[in-house]
Homo-oligomer: A and B are copies of this chain.
Amino acid sequence: MSGTTDQLIARRKKALGPAYEHFYERPLHLVRGEDVWVYDEAGKRYLDCYNNVPSVGHCNPYVLEALNRQAGLLNTHTRYLHHEVIEYAEMIAATLPGDLSVCTFVCTGTEANDLAYRIASTVTGNDGVVVTSGAYHGNSTLVDQMSLEFGRDHVPPDFIVGIESPYTYRGSIGSDHPNPEAAYAELTDQAIDTLASRGKKPAMLIIDSSFDARGILTPAPEYQQSVYQKVRAASGLVVADEVQSGLCRLGDHYWGFEDSDVIPDIVTMGKPMGDGHPVAVVVTTPEIAAEFAAKSDYFNTFGGNPVSAAVGKAVLEVVERDNLLGNVHSTSKYLLEGLHKLTQEFDLIGEVRGKGFFLGIELVTDRNSKEPATTQAAWITEYMRESGVLISKIGDYRNILKIRPPLVFRPEHADIVLQKLRDALTTLNN
């Protein structure tokens, strides 16, 4: 420890620069974590309902043991043979449907999505990208251009085209449409036409099944099925960005795209895979992997090192051992019931959306006009933080509360969130 919080903030401003943003009006100085709990420098405890990276809980002892054991033995890279990375790849492949069985290891979701483009463009010979609007896929030069989040002022280069996400609550096609999600899927044709008018074909569609940055959406399976089909008909591959929606988070399957009963050509994984340790993966089919290898090479110094592989394996083992998919499924059901009850009681809640441990609560000052309750969302987020519960807010208007806890979050923790949310909403009503 060194210095008070205020001193740390001042030193941070100097050493890390102004691009580093904090959560919360009063930045949170955390010093310890355990399971779903984190603790600040004063010893105050917070229920973590936001972080998806510590997937099997902060400082999971089984994962720590694997980290310490392998770090004490050897840490090299994939130019040497090592059993851990092979076993880890085999375990990942076993969770995936179809021919998705060849893993390339990287360090971050950004690197995974960037490599997915290198693979897709190399294999198809095309260079276009179709992305859903409002998505965030990462921060490299290319992937930043592919992230059409609201509020970004840059115009994407001409090989990247967006399709409006199926946001029936607030998008251009509303729930009054007879089949809004089908209509959203139809927009894919326009995007492909736009690329064609520029002399381009799609190398890939990239899609995050949680539609996180767009406000958390759960279109029916037919939506992704239709979009996949259209992009493939235009000779593009499909990349499922599972950095957010993957590893059991949506509660019904290991991977978010499985909810739509589709099989992508490439799957990217990141954030939760290493319980905090930098682990990310690109998985594809043997055919695509062979075609890419014939035309290009790829080596990532840290990706798939023995320590990262041991940690990744341990995370998958905990997920299986503790049946965390089952836990997400049942605890989410319990939490959603509570949230729907709050919706009946508080008009501020316009819509509760999402699946599993990826939930959004869209706040509006008026349910008819859907005026975004931006101020209230900010107030509630800060109130929850002061009350010892960490959530966040997202959306174009920052009026959507985001609840996205570690996979080890249990019903007794849901009770705490629901109680504090009720307190916040009641206070706002008074």
| Cα A16 to Cα B307 with chains together (Å) | 17
Q: Which of A84-134 contact B (CB under 8 A)?
A: 85-87, 89-90, 93, 101-111, 114-115, 117-118
Residue A430, interface by CB 8 Å: no
**Number of copies of this protein chain within its complex:** 2
A118→B76 CA distance, assembly (Å): 30
Residue from B17, B38, B71, B82 in contact with A74 in the complex, judged by beta carbons closer than 8 Å: B38
Give the residues in chain B near A53, CB-CB below 8 Å. Answer: 75-77, 301-302
**A165 part of interface (Cβ distance < 8 Å):** no
Are B104 and A107 interface neighbours, CB within 8 A?
Answer: no
The CA-CA distance from A104 to B74 in the complex, in Å, is 28
Tell me if A14 is interfacial: C-beta within 8 Å of chain B: yes
CB of A289 within 8 A of CB of B101, answer: no
A405 to chain B, nearest CB (A): 14
The answer to whether B107 and A302 touch across the interface, beta carbons within 8 angstroms, is yes
Q: Residues of B contacting A64 with CB < 8 Å?
A: 68, 71-72
Given known A-B contacts A38-B76, A104-B19, A71 and B67 have beta carbons under 8 A apart: yes
Residues of B within 8 A of A275 (CB): 75
Q: CA separation between A68 and B72, bound complex, in Å?
A: 10
Is A299 an interface residue, CB under 8 A from the partner? yes
Cβ-based interface call for A326 (8 A): no
Contacts of A73 in B (CB 8 A): 31-33, 59
Q: Is A172 an interface residue (CB 8 A)?
A: no
Knowing A17-B290, A102-B15, say if A139 contacts B299 (CB, 8 Å): yes
Q: Which candidate, A5-13, A186-194, A410-418, is the interface stretch facing chain B?
A: A5-13
Residue of B nearest to A73 (CB): B32
Binds B, one of A140-148, A254-262, A361-369, A396-404: A140-148
Inter-subunit contact A20/B78 (CB<8 Å): yes
Is A374 close to B, CB under 8 A?
no
With contacts A53-B77, A68-B68 known, is A29 near B82, CB below 8 A?
yes
A16 contacts which of B72, B102, B107 (Cβ < 8 Å)?
A: B102
- Chain B residue numbers with a CB within 8 Å of A298 are 19, 139
Known contacts A108-B111, A298-B139: does B76 contact A51 (CB below 8 Å)? yes
For A278, the chain B residues whose CB sits under 8 A away are 107, 278, 302, 305, 308
Do A101 and B271 have beta carbons less than 8 Å apart? no
> In the complex where A12-B81, A139-B300 touch, is A305 in contact with B276 (Cβ < 8 A)?
yes
Check A276 against B307 for contact (C-beta < 8 Å): yes
Residues of B within 8 A of A114 (CB): 140-141
Given A17-B103, A53-B301, 9 more A-B residue pairs with CB atoms under 8 Å apart are: A15-B101, A17-B104, A21-B297, A53-B77, A59-B75, A71-B277, A108-B301, A111-B139, A111-B140
A-B contact pairs, 7 of them (CB 8 A): A17-B102, A19-B289, A27-B80, A30-B81, A53-B76, A141-B142, A277-B302
A residues with CB within 8 A of B = 1-3, 5, 8-9, 11-12, 14-23, 27-33, 38, 51, 53-54, 58-59, 64, 67-68, 71-83, 85-87, 89-90, 93, 101-111, 114-115, 117-118, 139-142, 144, 270-271, 275-278, 284, 286, 289-290, 292-294, 296-305, 307-308
